[in-house]
Every structure is written in C-alpha cells, then in structure tokens.
Structure 1
Amino acid sequence: MKTTKQLLGAVSAFALVAMTSAPALAQGTSAGTEITNTVNVTFNVNGVTQNAETATDVFTVDQRVNVTVTNVGAATSVAPGETDQALAFDVTNLSNSSVDLELTALLNAGTAANISNIRVYLDTNGDRVLDATELAAGPITYLDEVGSSATGVTVAVIVLADFGLNAVNGDSFDVALTANAHAAGGAGSLGAELVESATNTTGIDTVLFDGQGATDALRDGAFSAIGTYTVAGAVVDVAKASRVVSDPVNGTNNPKAIPGATVEYCITVSNATGAATATDVDVTDDLPFDVTYDSAFGIFVDGDATCANGTAGGTFTANAGVGGEDRVSGDLSDVAGGQTRSLYFRVTID
C-alpha cells in the first residue's frame, strides 16, 4: 500500500494545508456533474428513409456524503500532571464532493476532573507528531474545503489534552473525535451543516451515506472514533519507623528510649508492582528539637526495605527545617515498580 501527499489550493487560518491519500471505496462521479443521454430513432415510410428523431435527457448527479474518522496507533500512556499529550487521528472525506468537516473532541469515558484542555491541531506533515510550528499554528475547529477523489482524501490531525495530578495509575480516558460534514463554504469559512434532502429535485440533492461511528448515528452526516489515554503513574508509599539502638544504661541489650539513647530512623519509599518508575526522589526530614543528629553514623541512601545495605550520602543542615529544626535530606535512585529504597540515619535523645 502506498501513501501519497496531496495539496489543496486555497488555505486560511483553519484551512487544510496538507493531506495524505488513503485507499477507500471509489467515490464515483462528482456531485453536480450533468449526465446527458441522447437516443436516436430512424424509420422508413413506404421504403423511404425518413428524418431521424432524437430525444435527450439530462440529469444532475447528487451529493453523496460520507466521512470516516480513525484513531491511529495504540493507547497513549500519560503520567499524572503531564500536559499536551497526543492522540493521532485520520479524518477522511469519502464524499463525491468537497466538504468542510467540523471537528469536535470530547471526553467519552473517564474522570472529567482529571483531564482538561482537549483540543485539535492540524498535523500538516502527517508524521503523527505535533512539532513546534504545528503547535504554534493553534488549535482548529474544522477542516476547510477537504476535496474528494476516487480513493478519498485523508487529513491527519492530533488531539492534545492535559492531565491532573490526581489521575492515578491505571486510569483511562476515552476521547471521541467527531467529524461532521458541512457544505464547502469557501476558503476560510465553515459552510452549513449538510442534511438529507427531503425530495428529489432537478438540482444537487444530498444523500447522507456515512456509517455509524463510536458515538454518532448511522447516516447522520458525521463519524466518530475513540482514542484512549492510559495513566502510568507511580504508586508511591512512604513509611517512617524508628528503633532504639542502644541506651546509656542497657547498652545494646534490650535498650530503652531514654535520654542519651541512640535511635535509628528508617524512611522507606516503595512503588507498587506494575506502576511507572518514580524518578527524582528527594527525601527531606526535619528533626524534632528533642534529638541531636548523630554525625558519627552519618546518612545512608538507597538502602533496602529493612534499611540496610545503603551507601553513605545525604546532607545534614543545621536549623534549615521549618521553625529552625535541623534537617536531614537525601536523593534516592529511581524507584521502579515493585521496588523499595530507603534512607536511614541516627540521632541521640537529648
């Protein structure tokens, strides 16, 4: 199968700049074509050939409206808080005439509070990626003067959406893109919506021939397809625990949390199995005023779930915490789904 590029003549702020031609059902004779048929009758009278009689019939080919929309590619994976996430669609005019195509992108399934700013852009080069120039051209609401051909004319568009931080791993959002056929209203303006002609006239009548899409009805002059966003978020759980290492009375034998005792703080960061990797993991812990940081022990990062096997790292900053508390901080390596990493250090009870 070969894909070719075609170019429309007139363009405007909303005009179609470039398109691809895709195989489809042949569209037949163009709407508005006059088909003329002449019949010729010859006859004789008493063996003599008489002047032939002719009769001519002319009728006009009506407009057959057909449009399809196809989501291109698999579901788009997004992270909570991401913006300008793309779904690629092909919009095809299968009519036997040029049409304008009004575009509407709406949430069909998913939590509305966690998706916003859904809009449509023209993918002028058809590469399924919205580059800086295409983004700067701004969103569109319709495709202008989409032509017809024997194989249909396909225009590439991209839907963008933003996602809230409250979207969680495993959430999905179905977005329906609908193309509704309008009369070709001239470059730069959206023509009137096309409707089925009620009667057969001598002019160009309209027949709606479109199929039933994801959210539209059969033969309604529109067609819709659904693209899906799936959320691949990190499912992070943070836990903090403490254990008494020793005290001035009992040493390490069943020590108690008395003044002078050494206490180890264990901070674990885990990520659920199958979740997206948590990156740039920063740990900040402001110490209570009743303890003193044990600089001789230090700070260990990237330990395991039991706060062992870490490597020396992290930072102690006196009086840097809220209200002047001492602060311990450290960066952990990326925490992939199913992993746990830890930061641990020790203090002395005042």
Structure 2
Amino acid sequence: MTRLSRWLGTAGALALAGLATPALAAGTQAGTTITNTVTVNYQVGGVAQNAQTASDTFTVDRKINVTVAEVGNATIVVSPGQSQAVLTYSVTNLSNATLDFALTTAQQTGGAGAHSNTDNFDTTNAKIYVDTNGNGVWDAGDTLVTYLDELAADGTKTVFVLSDIPLGRATNDVAVVTLTATGREGGGAGAMGAALVQTAGANTSAMDTVFADGAGATDAARDAAFSARDDYTVSAAALTVTKVSKIISDPVNGTTNPKMIPGATVEYCITVANAAGGAAANNVALTDVLPTTTTYLSSFGILMNGTVTGAACNADGAAGGTFASGAVSGTLASVAAGAARTMLFRVTIN
C-alpha cells in the first residue's frame, strides 16, 4: 500500500503543479524538493475510519543546457584595416539553474563559414564584451569579459566579439569566428565557477547533474557547452593608377603636329580606377613630384575629378588641387566601385 500511495501522491502533485505554474524552457528550478501526500478515506461497517496518508519527497535534478546564436543572421561587411569590427551573439541559459558561462572565441582555419562562404583569413586582437547597458549595440558602456556571471535560468545576454581586420585583404575575403559558452557552477557573484561534472550512474537522492545541450558549430552534444559561428566579409577598393602624357603644342609647330621639344606644352592625366564589385575609395590623395626638366603651367591649373572615355581623359574636371615644392597634389573625394576619376594638369619642357 505504501508504494501505491506514493505513486498516486506523486502523480497528483505533478498534475496540480502543471495547472498552477506556467511552463518555462528551463523547467522547475534545480534543487527544488517536491513533496506530495495522498489521503485514503474508507469505512468499516458503514462507519468512517481514520484516514490513512502517505507522503513522498524527491529533489529536482539539474539539467544543463545552453544555446549560442549569432544576432542578425548575416555576414558583417568590413574594410581592410578596420579596427574593432563587431560580431553580435546571444547566449541563453536553458538550464534549470543559475550558472556562470565561460566565453571563448576562436578563429576558423578554412572551410565553410556561417553564410555559404569560405574562411580564408584570420582577424587579430579578438575581445569579448557583454552588453552591459542592454541596448543591443556595442558601445563604451559595455564590459570586457571572459565569462557571464550568474546568468539565471531562461536568461539571455547579448555578447559582442570585436576583432581587427588586417590590411591588404581583398573583396569577398572571409574570416569565420566561433563563440563558445561553457557552463560553470558555483563561484558566487563576481567569480567564475568551477567546471561542471555530469552525475554518473543511477539517480541519487541528492541534486544530480545531467548535460542536455545539443551539438553546436564546433562542440559535441551533451558537453555543457554550445558554439556558434559568425563571419566577416571584406569589401575593399581595388585601385589601379595610370599616368599618360599628351603633347598639346610646341613653339615651332604650334598645335599642328606638335613635337616634344623644349618649350612644348605637355598635358598629364592621372587616372584612378576602382574595380567593380567592391567598396568606394574615399579621400584618394594624389601627389606627383615633377621632374626638374619640366615647369608647371600655372595658367592652366589643375582639374580634379574628371572622367575617362575609353582610354582617353576628358578635360571635364573641376578646378582644384595645389602646386607646391615642385609637386602637384589633389584629392578625389570618392571613387566608386566600377568608376574612374582623374587629375589633369600641364607642364612645359625646359
């Protein structure tokens, strides 16, 4: 009778608990003791007898589960040489206990990325921050961390991985970065807890530990950890520079079949072309030191931001640039991908 009464009591208490408490992903808090009592009333000869009761108590075991996911589901477009490029992840504690989570980041070496692309370079100076002010965007209010402290059951934190992008990378180069969160126990507020150990063998009367996490990007199932990938994709400008000269006139022939003789006027055109499919090049500074055998023609000036038709420069730029200390210089504000812009000026041959 005791075994039956305990079974009835347990089933009843669980049913009532299910009606009274909304279900959370984490479930009932680990370490909770669940007690219920069954009461049996009966009669003998039509007379009610003293009721019989039986109780049962057990401890809810600890289920360890965590998930990590990139936020935004898109590659992060970066520039060569960019510092503190941000990847954003969410870390959610699906365990039924408050835990710490150690955070580590790793570079992938080749292979598929998170967005149908292939890793071919590594970033540098990777650092991990937690979204301290909760605005979802990395800023000066966020905290550099190596772990998440006391993350409650069903709690989620936004985590940022910041990395520097090397110079010299080309458009569509990809760097894949993995963030891993690993459960830790104890430690108290402000200190990372110890590694979790799964309970071996049969269920005990104490709070057992069960690893229930799935397999992440680089970790196995049931290892108290979870990992997720995100990646950077480079968008670069690919510039080519050409410089051509054209005879305009000479002091003997004028503009009719002029030759490159002393006193002749020569036009220089410098073209900066940016390959299609990449990023715009901004603040493109040009400096051309003139040979001592030529003299800058100040009466013509410098034309900036002109265009090209075929291989020929058009004299359609705007006045700008400077000549100082024997050098012609100017700045092209922007050269879009697939476009070409010019700097045009003239000299005479000494």
Query: Is the 8 Å Cα contact of residues 301 and 330 (structure 1) preserved in structure 2?
Result: yes
Q: Aligned partners of 2:271 and 2:131: how far apart in 1?
A: 45
Q: CA deviation at 1:80?
A: 1.4
Q: Aligned partners of 1:198 and 1:191: how far apart in 2?
A: 21
Specify whether residues 296 and 207 from structure 1 end up closer, same or farther in structure 2 by C-alpha distance, changes over 3 A only: same
Show the 5 A alignment for 1:142-291.
142-148=147-153, 152-200=154-202, 201-291=204-294
- Which region of structure 1 is more displaced relative to structure 2, 174-183 or 249-258? 249-258
Query: Is the 8 Å Cα contact of residues 98 and 184 (structure 1) preserved in structure 2?
Result: no
The one-letter amino acid of 1:307's match is: C
The one-letter amino acid of 2:192's match is: L
What residue is the counterpart of 1:68 in the other structure? Answer: 67
Specify whether residues 25 and 107 from structure 1 end up closer, same or farther in structure 2 by C-alpha distance, changes over 3 A only: farther
Matched, 1:33 2:32: yes
How many residues of Structure 1 are paired with residues of Structure 2 in the alignment? 313
Q: CA deviation at 1:162?
A: 1.2
Q: Any idea what SS the aligned residue of 2:141 has?
A: helix
Which TM-score applies when normalising by structure 2? 0.82
Q: Any idea what SS the aligned residue of 2:193 has?
A: coil
Show the 5 A alignment for 1:102-117.
102-108=102-108, 110-113=119-122, 115-117=123-125
Query: Is the 8 Å Cα contact of residues 285 and 332 (structure 2) preserved in structure 1?
Result: yes
In structure 1, which of residues 302, 312, 330 is the aligned counterpart of residue 319 of structure 2?
Answer: 312
What residue is the counterpart of 1:129 in the other structure? Answer: 137
The one-letter amino acid of 1:147's match is: A
- TM-superposition CA deviations, 1:51-79 (whole Å, max 9, x none): 76654433211100110111111322211
What residue is the counterpart of 2:80 in the other structure? Answer: 80
Q: Which runs of 5+ in 1 are unaligned?
A: 1-23, 321-325
Q: CA deviation at 1:100?
A: 0.5
Q: Any idea what SS the aligned residue of 1:133 has?
A: coil
The one-letter amino acid of 2:313's match is: C
Specify whether residues 268 and 25 from structure 1 end up closer, same or farther in structure 2 by C-alpha distance, changes over 3 A only: farther
Query: Is the 8 Å Cα contact of residues 174 and 231 (structure 2) preserved in structure 1?
Result: yes
Q: CA deviation at 1:190?
A: 1.2
- TM-superposition CA deviations, 1:220-270 (whole Å, max 9, x none): 111111222222222221111112223344443443333332221110011
Q: CA deviation at 1:304?
A: 0.8
The one-letter amino acid of 1:124's match is: T
Q: CA deviation at 1:219?
A: 1.4
Q: CA deviation at 1:272?
A: 1.5
Q: Aligned partners of 1:203 and 1:310: how far apart in 2?
A: 82
RMSD: 2.4
Query: Is the 8 Å Cα contact of residues 307 and 343 (structure 1) preserved in structure 2?
Result: no
The one-letter amino acid of 2:127's match is: R
Q: CA deviation at 1:154?
A: 0.7
Q: CA deviation at 1:279?
A: 1.2
- TM-superposition CA deviations, 1:192-215 (whole Å, max 9, x none): 122321123221111111111222
Q: Aligned partners of 2:259 and 2:33: how far apart in 1?
A: 101
Q: Any idea what SS the aligned residue of 2:244 has?
A: strand
The one-letter amino acid of 2:322's match is: T
